[in-house]
Amino acid sequence: MSLSEKISATVITGFLGAGKTTIIQNILQNNDNRRIALIINEFGDVGIDGDLLKGCGNELCTDDDIVELANGCICCTVADDFIPTMERLLEKEIPPEHIIIETSGLALPEPLVRAFNWPEIRTKVNLDGVVTVVDGAALKDGQFAADEAAVETHRQMIEEIDHESPLSELFEDQIETADMIILNKADLLDKSDIEKIRDDLETRSPEGVTVIPSQNGELRLEVILGLWENSTRATRPSSSHHHDHDDHDHEDFENLHIQIPPLGSREVFLNRLSDIIREHNILRIKGILAEDNKPMRLIVQAAGPRVNSYYDRPWQTDEQQISNLILIGHAGLDRNAIVSALAGDG
């Protein structure tokens, strides 16, 4: 990682019991030896107490890469808890490669998202995206969580919480702040239930947000965190578990790798990307781009409708200034249409 490359942070939100911890466990088991730090603000979820989130899956990870913010609601204690915790992780001798923040379903995601604009954080961290996990089986039964009473009980356990938002309002906030929605427990639903819930959630969320059905929290890392397998990375020999994992995928995804000439205008190009994300239901974009008459590389990352870009470092004299983009979407992407839209002929 180059010194100026920002560390990406993914916020995972959703009510107690929706399956956030299972998703995070799957990430850590399949993380290709990356150093992933966790900030956890769930109360009494399975896993934490059961010590299931023991380490990040890399031998360089230490105990302090997993931080539990157990006393207050993360959105109410941004200045006192969240920002100092992030700063401690960033100041580490070996900082994490990616940070996952698991919020309790009682937290409002919006104030947390705004915290990424604080100067201490913005210069070093890129908010990768907000992933909202919903409980498909509960939604089918007209509930927000499998055990709504348990969610309410946990509200009483929190020492510092400044809002009494009802579950319906919290759910609305989770959906409206989402860049991607995981419809978990899809194995408990039939096809028509999935379609119905999916349509409903896509109508209520910002344009460009895709709902992805999942079973047992199993999702590919490039989808949920934007972490593609990197062939130049030194990896441990893959365990058989890693390969089994791919066989369980019930959602078919497709990667497109597209090379384009140096950009004329960054702004025009980013607008085109946003249009492509909406029109082709793109889940993820990652790119290193060259811009006409600019000595710096432009890094572009997108999770659903959230598109981030920044300059990371100058092009080296021996590097070819060429733009490489990887897009991931549902199988059957129209490569020709996307290529023309990128060129502005779409």
| Cα–Cα distances in angstroms (integers) from residue 319 to residues 234, 301, 323, in the given order | 22, 21, 12
Site string for Zn ion, 181-220 (x = CB under 5 A): ----------------------------------------
Q: How far is the CB of 161 from Zn ion (least distance, A)?
A: 5
Q: How far is the CB of 313 from Zn ion (least distance, A)?
A: 37
Q: How far is the CB of 262 from Zn ion (least distance, A)?
A: 45
Q: How far is the CB of 212 from Zn ion (least distance, A)?
A: 27
Q: Which is nearer to Zn ion, 18 or 76 (CB)?
A: 76
Residue 318 CA to residue 76 CA, distance in Å, equals 49
Point out which residues pair with 10 in neighbouring strands.
100, 129
Q: Which is nearer to Zn ion, 51 or 159 (CB)?
A: 159
Q: Which amino acid makes up residue 120?
A: E
In the numeric block, the tokens 């992030």 are attached to 86
Please list every residue from 39 through 98 that binds Zn ion, using CB under 5 A.
73, 75-76
Q: Which is nearer to Zn ion, 76 or 224 (CB)?
A: 76
Give me 23's structure tokens. Answer: 């998703």
Q: Which is nearer to Zn ion, 163 or 272 (CB)?
A: 163
The contacts found for 290-296 with CB under 8 angstroms, 24 or more apart, are 290/262, 290/263, 290/315, 290/321, 290/322, 290/323, 291/262, 291/263, 291/266, 292/262, 292/263, 292/264
127 binds Zn ion (CB under 5 A): no
Q: Which is nearer to Zn ion, 18 or 73 (CB)?
A: 73
Three-state SS string over 260-309 comes to ECCECCHHHHHHHHHHHHHHHCCCEEEEEECECCCCEEEEEEEECCEEEE
Q: Which is nearer to Zn ion, 76 or 328 (CB)?
A: 76
Q: How far is the CB of 211 from Zn ion (least distance, A)?
A: 25
Measure CA 226 to chain center. Answer: 7
Backbone CA torsion sign across 134, 140, 142, 147 = negative
**DSSP states along 103-119:** E-TTS-HHHHHHHTTSH
How many CB atoms are closer than 10 A to CB 91?
Answer: 9
Q: How far is the CB of 189 from Zn ion (least distance, A)?
A: 31
Q: Which is nearer to Zn ion, 73 or 186 (CB)?
A: 73
Q: How far is the CB of 84 from Zn ion (least distance, A)?
A: 17
Number of residues that bind Zn ion (CB under 5 A): 4
Which phi and psi angles does 30 have, rounded to 5°? -120, 30
Q: Can you list the alpha helix ranges (DSSP code H) found in 9-142? A: 20-29, 83-91, 109-115, 119-122, 136-140
Number of residues that make up the chain: 346
Angle (nearest 5°) at CA 315 between 312 and 320: 130
Site string for Zn ion, 95-114 (x = CB under 5 A): ------------x-------
Q: Which is nearer to Zn ion, 158 or 302 (CB)?
A: 158
Q: Which is nearer to Zn ion, 66 or 76 (CB)?
A: 76
Residue 17 CA to residue 23 CA, distance in Å, equals 11
Q: How far is the CB of 146 from Zn ion (least distance, A)?
A: 22
Site string for Zn ion, 269-288 (x = CB under 5 A): --------------------
Q: How far is the CB of 222 from Zn ion (least distance, A)?
A: 31
Q: Enumerate binding residues for Zn ion (CB under 5 A).
A: 73, 75-76, 107
